Amino acid sequence: MPVYEYTGITTAGKQTKGVFDADNPRALRDGLKAKGVFITEFWEGKDAAERKKGEVSFKLPGADRISLTDVSILTRQLATLQRAGIPLVESLNALIEQTEKESLKKIVADVRQKVNEGSALAVAMKDHPEAFGDLYVNMIRAGESSGNLDVVLERLTEFLDDQVSLRQKLTGAMVYPLLMLTLGFFIVAYLMASVVPKVTQIFEDQDEALPFVTNLLIWMSDVISGYWWLLMALAGGAFYVFRRWKSTEDGAEKWDRFVLQLPIFGGLTRMIAVGRFSKTLSTLLGSGVPLLGAMDIVKNILGNRVLIEVVEQARLNIREGESIAGPLKRSGEFPPMVTHMIAVGERTGALENMLENVAEAYDRQVDMRVTALTNLLEPLMIILMGGGVGFIVFAILLPILRMNEAFAG
């Protein structure tokens, strides 16, 4: 069944637009008329793409990109509709009308069309990995198989909300330090390239021996003002080489191992990964996804090659009849408390609850660690900026003080 985009006027006299599937234009007009919408213009599939080629877009880059927040809101709405007992196709139709982002609206329209033609919801969603990842699709499949789609959707909503909250928390913690670091860099660079050369020229004209710090400042100023293009080229080249090295299997593993060994950030990275592992595995198991399938999915969201390899090895050992806790404990990468609680959960048959408890405990630890790190970084950035400016001021004032002492003597 074709999917049409349209603009029209409602019975209340307001302009409206949206997406509607119909067998032909006449069916489109009749269907919308029954909903109180009178079409002024419509176009179908590829015609819409051709139409948009000639339109001038004022959207910011990435403005139509589907975010985790968008998917979370969509899932919550679908869970509410399913819990109310509304048929799936009608629920998807309601979502199309409620969704504001055009890219997501088109995806939901395509999913609705496939479901209307007899496809399973998970199969229809699998064709749109930009919105619905493997974890999402597998949980929907498990919900459809068990007949508990509304329960699974609620679990998905809670999981996505937690992920959005964690991402916002980490992003917010890094915004201020990065802003201060960038501002400090530009201030120091401006002083070195524009202000310092004019001031230090006075000292050079005196033809007297200058203190070491002043000579160092003059040298740094000459390098920055005279070879800034070379410094930028070297920085860009180093970044390119690093990215190329990090994109290799060996480079990615070594870098991820290095990150886990960092004094402060390594522990935070491990906490986030372990909390994500526990929360995701608990959500998948609670939704009816088999353990081996859940382990295969959960390894791909850890974001660290070392931990991914540990989970993959654990999955292979589980396939051979071993427990989950054993291989995780032998790896040495998962904290003892985590492996102990998983072992207790396996023995008592409450693995899902234990994983949920681990996730909650690590979420609290991440909160405290991020708060402490933010409180530490703020004064540290001020000290670094003050130190850079202080070095410049000291290097300029020192020869002036010496000249004053010489004149006074």
Q: Is the pLDDT of residue 114 over 80?
A: yes
Q: What is the pLDDT of residues 256-266, one digit of tens each?
A: 999 999 888 88
> How much is the average pLDDT of 327-344?
89
Do the Cβ atoms of 333 and 307 come closer than 8 Å? yes
Q: Name the residue type at position 4.
A: Y
Instruction: Classify residue 39 as exposed, middle or buried by CB count within 10 Å of its CB (0-12, 13-18, 19+).
Output: middle
Confidence of residue 242 (pLDDT cuts 50, 70, 90): very high
Q: Name the residue type at position 212.
A: F
Confidence of residue 362 (pLDDT cuts 50, 70, 90): confident
Q: Name the residue type at position 380.
A: L
- From the CB of residue 2, how many other CB atoms can be counted at a distance below 10 Å? 14
Q: What DSSP string runs through 180-211?
A: HHHHHHHHHHHIIIIIHHHHHHHHHHTT-PPP
Q: What is the pLDDT of residues 126-137, one digit of tens each?
A: 888 888 888 788
Q: Where are the domains of the chain?
A: 3-53, 68-160, 265-367
pLDDT at 60: 45
Q: Architecture of 265-367 per CATH?
A: Up-down Bundle (1.20)
Fold: same for 68-160 and 265-367: yes
Cβ neighbours for 345, distance < 8 A, ≥ 6 positions apart: 351, 352, 353, 354, 355
Do the Cβ atoms of 334 and 310 come closer than 8 Å? yes
Confidence of residue 243 (pLDDT cuts 50, 70, 90): very high
What is the spatial distance between Cα 32 and Cα 48, in angstroms, rounded to a whole number? 18
Q: What is the average pLDDT score of the chain?
A: 81
Q: Is the pLDDT of residue 149 over 70?
A: yes
Do the Cβ atoms of 72 and 164 come closer than 8 Å? yes
> How much is the average pLDDT of 136-159?
83
Residue listed under structure tokens 């909390």 = 275
Confidence of residue 52 (pLDDT cuts 50, 70, 90): very low
What is the spatial distance between Cα 301 and Cα 272, in angstroms, rounded to a whole number? 11
> In terms of DSSP H, where are the helices of 148-261?
149-190, 196-205, 212-226, 228-246, 249-260
Percent of the chain with pLDDT over 90: 6
Q: What is the CATH number of domain 68-160?
A: 1.20.81.30
**First-to-last C-alpha distance (Å) of the chain:** 98
What is the spatial distance between Cα 200 and Cα 217, in angstroms, rounded to a whole number? 9
| Token pair recorded at residue 199 | 């001031």
Region of 321 please: left (phi>0), alpha (psi -120 to 50) or beta: left
What is the spatial distance between Cα 197 and Cα 222, in angstroms, rounded to a whole number? 8
Q: Is the pLDDT of residue 59 over 50?
A: no
What is the spatial distance between Cα 342 and Cα 386, in angstroms, rounded to a whole number? 48
Q: Is the pLDDT of residue 252 over 80?
A: yes
Q: Is the pLDDT of residue 382 over 60?
A: yes
Q: Name the residue type at position 284.
A: L
Q: Is the pLDDT of residue 247 over 90?
A: no
Residue of 78, 75, 52, 46 lying closest to 64 (CA atoms) = 52
Question: Distance from CA of residue 151 to its chain's centroid?
Answer: 26
